[in-house]
Chain A
Amino acid sequence: MNVLQRWMMRRKMPTAECVRVAEVVQQYLDGEGTAAEALRVERHLDECTTCGLEADALQALKEAVRRHGERDAEAREQLREFAERLARGDIDPVDKTV
């Protein structure tokens, strides 16, 4: 189902503001874009259920991907320890890749 079909399901039409916000909502959720844009997006998502649900869906997607990235905690911890040992001079940085 695309965005327009979703709107039609709710028997509503997107407003001009809905269209403008849809263009920048992903940047907003990604932490990009200006503070003014963020304010505008937030205000609209508060007022508009359909756009709000859309943003929630995108955010849920991002968070699932982020959780997937958390699964290698042990590997990352070991690498941090490796880096700390390098920093302390505990490892002789011999080039392993001949």
Chain B
Amino acid sequence: MTLQAPDAEREAAFAKHVIPEVDVMFRVAMSLTRNRAEAEDLVQDSLIRAYRAIDRFDGRHPRAWLLTILRNTHINRNRRRRPELLRDPDVEMERLATTSAGDDYDPESVVVEPIFDATVIAALEALPDRFRTAVELVDLAGLSYQEAADQLNVPVGTVMSRLHRARRRMRADLEDAGFGIKEIE
């Protein structure tokens, strides 16, 4: 039985290990929930759990620790509220019902080549779940191959393979839309 750390230590540990990872937690939560409001809820719940558990954290691999909390919190939330999601391997219909591109549109971020970006994102959204998730974790959330593999509970080789195949499909979509490589002779 461990003694609870004094509040000052708890708060310092939380500030040191957790706050730097909030961005990554949010991006991974977006990949999990496909919905901004749910992602925010999920991250807040996870942060609260992390705060309560920080005295048991050994200080090593904070990102992995936090993403494990995030993943477990997500599973628990779905188990309570939407048990059918855990049994259903294809959550595409859920994603389509809850994603609203209009809500996420931020005019200030669309500065460089907006049509190219929109085409890339459409290609991303069109990917099968396992390919899309690989791209979201590595390119969007900035996880390493190993961190993504841990998050997905698959070997690193699987992450690499899914990334390669996802990118190949996205490039095919881009070429269909007229964004092939410009050959300079």
Q: Which residues of A contact B (CB under 8 A)?
A: 1, 6, 9-10, 26-27, 30-32, 49, 53-54, 56-58, 60-62, 64-73, 75-76, 78-80, 82-84, 86-89, 91, 93-97
- Residues in B with CB closer than 8 Å to A54 are 181
Q: In chain B between 33 and 58, which residues have their CB closer than 8 angstroms to a CB of chain A?
A: 36, 39-40, 43-45, 47-48, 51-52
Closest CB pairs A-B (n = 3): A64-B120, A69-B140, A65-B139
Q: How far is the CA of A31 from the CA of B47 in the complex (A)?
A: 28
B residues with CB within 8 A of A = 7, 11-12, 14-15, 18-19, 22-23, 25-27, 30, 36, 39-40, 43-45, 47-48, 51-52, 73, 76-77, 80, 104-106, 109, 112-113, 116-117, 120-121, 124, 135-136, 138-141, 144-145, 160, 163-164, 167, 170-171, 174-175, 180-185
Residue in B23, B48, B124, B182 whose CB lies within 8 Å of A65:
B124
Secondary structure at chain B's binding surface: helix, strand, loop or mixed?
A: helix
Residues A26 and B164 in contact, CB atoms below 8 Å apart? yes
* Residue from A31, A64, A88 having most chain B Cβ neighbours under 10 A: A64
* Contact assessment for A72 and B144 in the assembled complex, using a CB-CB cutoff below 8 Å: no
Contacts of B14 in A (CB 8 A): 83, 86-87
Residues of A within 8 A of B175 (CB): 1
